[in-house]
Structure 1
Amino acid sequence: MKKLLPLACAAFVSNACISNALAVTVHTELVLLADVSGSVNQIEYDLQKTGYVNAFQSSEVVSAIASVGSIAVTYVEWSGKNQQAQLVNWSMISNAQEASNFASAINNTSRSFYNMTAPGSAITYATNLFGTETGGSSNGFESNFQIIDISGDGLKNNGQNVGSATSNALSQGVDKINGLPIGNATIANYYGDQIVAGEGAFYMSAYQFADIEDSLVKKLAGEITGTTPEGANTPTPAAAPPADVAAVPVPAAAWLFGSAMTGLALVGRRRNTHKSES
């Protein structure tokens, strides 16, 4: 009977377990979220895509990958709440040729959307792409670090609450959400306050689309090596929830305690009043 038990157990091994056993181990899994909402015109779209292409062919990024051994990366375009497209599937990169192949794959993509701006929905979509580390089906890779890298040139006007999306991403296993805000200080501050999350997370500003390539090279190299690049901003945690995050209701027990203390104070005040009257 004991001899048959392992065979019986083996018969119930799930596909997920088999997938985990076959998963390739890399240092970092990285989801690239590229904003293609309506505020990104065709010239800006081309500059952004070219920035990603050239960044993965740069010596800085290739050297960063070599220093950690290997990474797995996927390229996603996003716009409105139900508009996310994984245009380049998960790809392992461990050398210059594989990095160049990934860059070519990005270069061969076509624009997916041209609509609203829903960064929260994009972050949720990205969270589910990591596979077993965030509670989903295997994506073929396992890693020490799972990082979301999101670019954008506008504020949320559609889709999921950003604060909820970032909080859920971290609770599900994402290590960092780093940002590439494109534009003025308002956009940069929005990314710093509401999107960037996780220990050691940062954002690297590009003041115009022509600056994306330089910012991306520094940003990707820092993400891969686990360092904060020169010129990056590391936001400090806010004392109060950001505007897009619903305030946490006071627990019932705390409310009852507060009510009880208020009642005791009133009783004491009445006793003192009676003493003074007598």
Structure 2
Amino acid sequence: MLCLQSLSVSICLLAVAALPAAGEDHIEVDAAIVFAVDSSTSIDPERADRQRIGHAEALRSREVITAITSGPAGCIAITYFEWSSVGSLRTILPWQLVCNEAQARAAAQTIEDYGDTGHGRSRGGRTSISFAIDAASLSLRAWSGKATRTVIDISVNGTNNDGLPVEISRRQALAEGHVINAITLDRAEEGVTDDLAGYLHEAVIGGPGAFVLMTNNPADYARALRRKLALEISGLALPADATTAVYVR
């Protein structure tokens, strides 16, 4: 099921997120992870492909599949949506239970097939990171399973310029027990900040072991995504020698 961005977040997310993963009530997983992916006007086709293909490749990677199957529960739950300004959201992958390679590959294929390509779409808008966090929190709240860790993953190339101050949304998400991590598509937002990772560290990420990864090209982004997702699934801290890590809480 795809939720068109013209729908309000409450209708869109509750229509899909209230469904338990794999159709089972009270399933237990090692991590429930929301991929919240920027689709604002500044996301051109190259950046759109970087996010779409990067997430798909991360889910297919041996590193991530091993992390999934090695956990105490041996399963994770994931959902993937694209966002921009307040009220602009499209769910690409509703909550999906992933316990093996076949399920990981199926989820990856859905993201690759239906995610934003940057071509021929009626999307765009400003960048409301606060809206993305609120939508992710709502999705986690509506999901019926149990997770050892609940994680909001923000992929973005700009600062919050629409909706609530992002600190308000972050505070609420952290109060609900979620960890917020972030990955950048660029080092800086031209004309706004020359240190996007530093901004995300100060205003966006939070929770035990939260971190920002900074990337500038497709290869770096895909590699960083794999490492980030494997760590989030396993619950391990980012290693001290992680050269792609800019800031860790």
Q: TM-score, normalised by structure 2?
A: 0.79
Q: Distance in 1 between matches of 2:164 and 2:133?
A: 9
Quick check: 1:193–1:235 contact (8 Å CA) kept in 2?
A: no
Q: Distance in 2 between matches of 1:197 and 1:114?
A: 27
Deviation per CA, 1:251-275: give whole Å up to 9, x if none.
xxxxxxxxxxxxxxxxxxxxxxxxx
- Counterpart of 2:31? 28
Aligned to 1:145, which of 134, 149, 152?
149
Q: Indicate whether 1:72 and 2:58 are aligned.
A: no
Q: Which amino acid aligns with 2:207?
A: G
Q: How does 1:245-264 map to 2 (within 5 A)?
A: none
- Counterpart of 1:213? 222
- Counterpart of 1:172? 176
Aligned to 1:184, which of 183, 187, 207?
187
Q: How does 1:98-247 map to 2 (within 5 A)?
A: 98-111=103-116, 113-131=123-141, 137=142, 139-174=143-178, 176-184=179-187, 186-227=195-236, 228-229=238-239, 230-231=242-243, 232-236=245-249
Mean Cα displacement is larger for which, 143-152 or 204-213? 204-213
Aligned to 1:83, which of 81, 88, 105?
88
Based on CA coordinates, which of the two structures has the bigger radius of gyration? 1
- Counterpart of 2:7? none
Quick check: 2:198–2:247 contact (8 Å CA) kept in 1?
A: no
Q: Which amino acid aligns with 2:132?
A: A
Count of aligned pairs between the two proteins: 210
Structure 1 position 204, deviation (Å): 1.2
Quick check: 2:35–2:152 contact (8 Å CA) kept in 1?
A: yes
Structure 1 position 110, deviation (Å): 4.3
Q: Distance in 2 between matches of 1:208 and 1:128?
A: 31
Structure 1 position 157, deviation (Å): 1.3
Structure 1 position 120, deviation (Å): 0.8
Q: Distance in 2 between matches of 1:77 and 1:219?
A: 19
- Counterpart of 1:51? 54
When the two chains are superposed, the root-mean-square deviation of aligned CA atoms in Å is 1.7
Give unmatched runs, 5+ long, in structure 1. Answer: 1-18, 132-136, 237-278
Quick check: 1:166–1:197 contact (8 Å CA) kept in 2?
A: yes
Higher relative contact order (CA 8 A, sep 6+): 2
**Percent of aligned pairs with the same amino acid:** 30
Of Structure 1 and Structure 2, the greater strand share is in 2
Quick check: 1:81–1:160 contact (8 Å CA) kept in 2?
A: no
Q: TM-score, normalised by structure 1?
A: 0.72
Structure 1 position 33, deviation (Å): 0.6
Structure 1 consecutive aligned stretches of length 4 or more whose deviation exceeds 6 Å: none
